[in-house]
């Protein structure tokens, strides 16, 4: 199964780097960058060219921004290609998706894993630490 990352600027390449830093070298992850100079339709043409017949029904796209140009191009691609598409990708979601993909599960399961991992993955850390102080003042759980 192919995982294809598409973003405004180099974010997709950075996500790929991050995944490989954590999980080691990965096969079948491609990063596509939309630069400020490139017309979005050209990105769309590059994406279409990257899909081979065996990728039909067997590729998951991750785009960075709901209703952004990469998102729109991938939606356009889905008119003529059988693809899975998740938008608003972040590293926690992608990591989980790659792990599930590598364990040999289906595209549906990869998408579900990414969605589940993204939930609650953005945190207000100042608030989190303050909450932890309150918890500590309550009943602190000790290792016994």
Residues that bind another protein (CB under 8 A): 22-24, 92, 95-96, 99, 102, 117, 120, 125, 128-129, 131-133, 135-136, 141-144
CB of residue 54 to another protein, shortest distance in Å: 23
CB of 13 to another protein, least distance (A): 19
* Token pair recorded at residue 12: 């997709």
Residues 90 and 61 sit within 8 Å (Cβ to Cβ): no
- For another protein, the closer CB: 54 or 141: 141
> By C-beta, is 79 or 126 nearer to another protein?
126
Nearest approach in angstroms of CB 58 to another protein is 20
Shortest Å, Cβ 135 to another protein: 8
CB 67, CB 92: distance < 8 Å = no
Min dist. Cβ of residue 132 to another protein (A): 5
Between 1 and 95, name the residue whose CB sits nearer to another protein. Answer: 95
CB 90 within 8 A of CB 121: yes
**For another protein, the closer CB: 25 or 53:** 25
Measured from the CB atom, the residue of 41 and 132 that comes closer to another protein is 132
């Amino acid at each position: 199964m192919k995982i294809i990352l598409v973003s405004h600027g180099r974010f997709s390449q950075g996500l790929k780097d991050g995944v490989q830093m954590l999980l080691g070298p990965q096969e079948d992850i491609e990063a596509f960058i939309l630069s400020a100079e490139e017309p979005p339709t050209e990105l769309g043409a590059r994406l279409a060219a990257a899909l081979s017949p065996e990728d039909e029904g067997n590729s998951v796209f991750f785009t960075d921004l709901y209703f952004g140009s990469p998102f729109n191009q991938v939606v356009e691609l889905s008119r003529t290609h059988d693809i899975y598409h998740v938008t608003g990708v972040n590293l926690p979601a992608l990591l989980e998706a790659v792990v599930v993909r590598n364990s040999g599960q289906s595209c549906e399961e990869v998408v579900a894993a990414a969605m589940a991992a993204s939930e609650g993955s953005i945190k207000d850390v100042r608030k989190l630490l303050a909450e932890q102080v309150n918890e500590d003042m309550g009943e602190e759980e000790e290792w016994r």
